[in-house]
């Protein structure tokens, strides 16, 4: 992917974008056209793969499972791969699956695991419309369980949905609003974890740039980074470390940020180390489903690692002691210095790392049942392959400069698992790359806004 690592933050990025509007759009349009050409070029490849898969599928197709305790399950976030993974895992256990998404052009709706598809209202514009649209679907389809595969901006709305669904006897796999606000607020989360004696980086709340300028860095051994509490776009790889070399540089950097009482930031200890992300499904404090993957720069490679007992222990402790429910995905830094994992933040939603369960039959029970799991959380098999998205690898392949990179990508293509591809469910793979992604790109071409990457995972452009 064309990376924008040299830019210090999304805010700075935006201000640059606004200052040279025209050339920027020309460049972005060229890049989108590049992507469209890639999708066009890859079309015969995906077509051939799909045709072969269809043949294998028809020959090896197993009769669908009859589950006497089948539930009627609604899954949201239908455009994302993580939702598709949930759909497949639950369908394979014999449940009746309904999918919903904010826009109709979600090709995952053509998965054979889905019985019905509905378009719900946009969350971003009006929460109450969204909540009402989910309630309507639940009533019409007599849904027993609602599993939100939320975007970051609908976590809280999904908590409100949970309350609205209670009188309808529909269970929502989502935390209460109070817990969710604690988990998704980077400052509250770190404060809570610290109060439980769990390892987190030092974190200060910043509501005024002055607080940073007046901070006595000479007392600290470490460097710090600034992160916006409300905004998730800024990635670790593009962060400026504080203090800058000169005071003026610090001032200049702070001037590019919009820090205020209404838009608070955190100043967090920068811990050099290796980053891991986890997915967790939790019920009344019991961690039931768990995957842990090394974080990659664009979070588009997932391979479960099962030799990180300290991270698992951290997650289990936190869940148990806060008695949370729903889905909680924690990000960790494993310090190079002391080898301990430090949680840097929590996203209370399904994590795309859930794709690592592509061939595991135990996922459904962790969402549907509440019976205590005697042997701890269900985890992906230790020999699961690394999951990737085909077109990202192809794009990377076009950009390689070294033989090593080339071989690494080839190895991944052949040894890994395409995240959307499935012999049991061949269509989403083909349609996602031939209809959905080009559609998103063309919409973008007509109405360009700044983006840093084409994300097949979330199937939208950031
Ligand atoms: C959202 O929609 C509801 C009903 O359609 C309306 O009553 C409410 O005022 C809207 N809220 C906002 C913030 O637009
Ligand atoms: C955890 O929360 C559940 C549901 O809110 C409650 O029934 C249970 O008693 C709580 N457990 C503990 C140990 O507080
Ligand atoms: C892929 O999905 C995960 C989980 O929703 C998200 O955290 C991550 O940022 C996504 N990847 C990219 C490149 O946005
Ligand atoms: C899951 O996939 C891995 C790697 O392809 C394989 O070794 C393992 O046997 C599979 N497990 C099941 C239950 O299919």
Cβ within 8 Å of residue 147, ≥6 positions away: 73, 74, 75, 76, 86, 90, 172, 173, 350, 367
Give the residue from 379, 395, 424 where a domain finishes: 379
Domain around 313: 272-379
Please check whether residue 30 lies inside any domain of the structure.
no
DSSP 291-347: EEEE--TTS--B-B----HHHHHHHHHHHHHHT--EE-EEEEEEETTT--EEEEEEE
- Among all bound ligands, the one having the nearest atom to the CA of 380 is 4
Please check whether residue 132 lies inside any domain of the structure.
yes
Cβ within 8 Å of residue 447, ≥6 positions away: none
pLDDT under 70 in the chain at which residues? 1-25, 27-28, 231-238, 297-299, 447-462
Do both 239 and 283 map to the same domain?
Answer: no
- Among all bound ligands, the one having the nearest atom to the CA of 359 is 4
Please check whether residue 163 lies inside any domain of the structure.
yes
pLDDT tens digits for 285-334?
Answer: 999 999 999 987 666 889 999 999 999 999 999 999 999 999 999 999 99
Do both 284 and 231 map to the same domain?
Answer: no
Q: Is 124 in the pocket of ligand 1 (CB under 6 A)?
A: no
Do both 136 and 113 map to the same domain?
Answer: yes
Q: Is 74 in the pocket of ligand 3 (CB under 6 A)?
A: no
Do both 312 and 226 map to the same domain?
Answer: no
Residue pair 390/46 in contact by the 8 Å Cβ criterion? yes
Please check whether residue 217 lies inside any domain of the structure.
yes
Instruction: Find the 284 Cα to ligand 2 centroid distance in Å.
Output: 6
Do both 321 and 288 map to the same domain?
Answer: yes
pLDDT tens digits for 96-139?
Answer: 999 999 888 888 999 999 999 999 988 777 789 999 999 999 99
pLDDT of residue 395: 77
Smallest CA separation from ligand 3 atom 9, residue: 299
Mutate to test the pocket of ligand 3, among 151, 184, 455, 461 (most ligand atoms within 8 A of CB): 455
Torsion angle, alpha carbons of 348, 349, 353, 355, to 10: 160
Q: Is 424 in the pocket of ligand 4 (CB under 6 A)?
A: no
Do both 292 and 249 map to the same domain?
Answer: no
Do both 250 and 299 map to the same domain?
Answer: no
For 133, the token pair is: 């649209």
Compute the Cα dihedral for 180, 186, 187, 193 and give only its sign: positive
Structural domain tally of the chain?
3
168: domain CATH number? 3.40.50.20
- Among all bound ligands, the one having the nearest atom to the CA of 122 is 1
pLDDT of residue 61: 86
Do both 84 and 114 map to the same domain?
Answer: yes
For 221, the token pair is: 């051994």
Q: Which residue is it, tokens 């599993």?
A: 147
pLDDT of residue 458: 41
What are the phi and psi torsion angles at 38 (to 5°)? Answer: -60, -45
Instruction: Find the 174 Cα to ligand 2 centroid distance in Å.
Output: 15
Instruction: Find the 288 Cα to ligand 1 centroid distance in Å.
Output: 37
Please check whether residue 109 lies inside any domain of the structure.
yes
Instruction: Find the 450 Cα to ligand 1 centroid distance in Å.
Output: 29
Instruction: Find the 383 Cα to ligand 4 centroid distance in Å.
Output: 7
Give the residue from 345, 379, 413 where a domain finishes: 379
Please check whether residue 362 lies inside any domain of the structure.
yes
Please check whether residue 414 lies inside any domain of the structure.
no
Do both 353 and 279 map to the same domain?
Answer: yes
Do both 283 and 347 map to the same domain?
Answer: yes
Please check whether residue 186 lies inside any domain of the structure.
no
Q: Which residue is it, tokens 């995952």?
A: 108
Do both 263 and 276 map to the same domain?
Answer: no
Do both 261 and 210 map to the same domain?
Answer: yes
């Amino acid at each position: 992917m064309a990376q924008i690592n040299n830019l210090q933050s999304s805010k700075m990025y935006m201000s640059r974008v606004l200052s040279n509007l025209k050339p920027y759009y020309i460049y972005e349009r060229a890049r989108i056209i590049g992507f469209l050409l890639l999708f066009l070029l890859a079309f015969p490849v995906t077509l051939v793969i799909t045709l072969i898969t269809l043949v294998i599928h028809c020959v090896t197709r197993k009769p669908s499972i009859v589950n006497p305790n089948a539930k009627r399950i609604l899954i949201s976030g239908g455009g994302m791969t993580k939702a598709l993974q949930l759909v497949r895992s639950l369908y394979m256990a014999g449940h009746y699956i309904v999918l919903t998404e904010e826009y109709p052009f979600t090709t995952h709706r053509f998965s054979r695991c889905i019985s019905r598809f509905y378009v719900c209202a946009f969350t971003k514009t009006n929460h109450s419309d969204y909540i009402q649209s989910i309630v309507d679907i639940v009533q019409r389809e007599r849904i027993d369980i609602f599993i939100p595969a939320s975007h970051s901006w609908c976590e809280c709305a999904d908590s409100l949905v949970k309350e609205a669904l209670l009188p309808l006897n529909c269970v929502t796999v989502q935390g209460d609003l109070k817990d969710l606000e604690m988990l998704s607020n980077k400052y509250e989360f770190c404060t809570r974890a610290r109060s439980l004696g769990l390892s987190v980086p030092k974190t200060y709340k910043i509501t005024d740039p002055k607080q940073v300028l007046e901070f006595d860095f000479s007392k600290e051994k470490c460097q710090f980074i600034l992160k916006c509490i409300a905004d998730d776009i800024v990635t670790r790889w593009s962060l400026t470390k504080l203090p800058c070399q000169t005071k003026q540089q610090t001032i200049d950097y702070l001037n590019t940020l919009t820090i205020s009482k209404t838009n608070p930031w955190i100043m967090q200890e920068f811990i050099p180390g290796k980053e891991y992300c986890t997915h967790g499904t939790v019920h009344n404090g019991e961690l039931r489903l768990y995957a842990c993957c090394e974080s990659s720069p664009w979070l588009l490679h997932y391979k479960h690692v099962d030799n990180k007992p300290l991270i698992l222990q951290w997650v289990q402790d936190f869940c148990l002691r806060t008695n949370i429910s729903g889905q909680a995905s924690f990000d960790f830094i494993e310090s190079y210095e002391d080898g301990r994992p430090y949680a840097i933040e929590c996203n209370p939603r399904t994590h795309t790392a859930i794709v690592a369960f592509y061939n595991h039959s135990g996922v459904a029970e962790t969402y549907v049942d509440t019976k205590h799991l005697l042997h701890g959380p269900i985890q992906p098999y230790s020999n699961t392959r690394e999951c990737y998205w085909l077109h990202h690898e192809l794009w990377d392949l076009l950009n390689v400069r070294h033989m090593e990179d080339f071989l690494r990508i080839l190895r991944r293509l052949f040894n890994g698992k395409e995240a959307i591809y499935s012999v049991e469910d061949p269509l989403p793979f083909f349609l996602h790359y031939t209809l959905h992604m080009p559609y998103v790109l063309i919409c973008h071409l007509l109405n360009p806004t700044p983006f840093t990457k084409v994300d097949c995972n979330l199937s939208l452009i950031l």
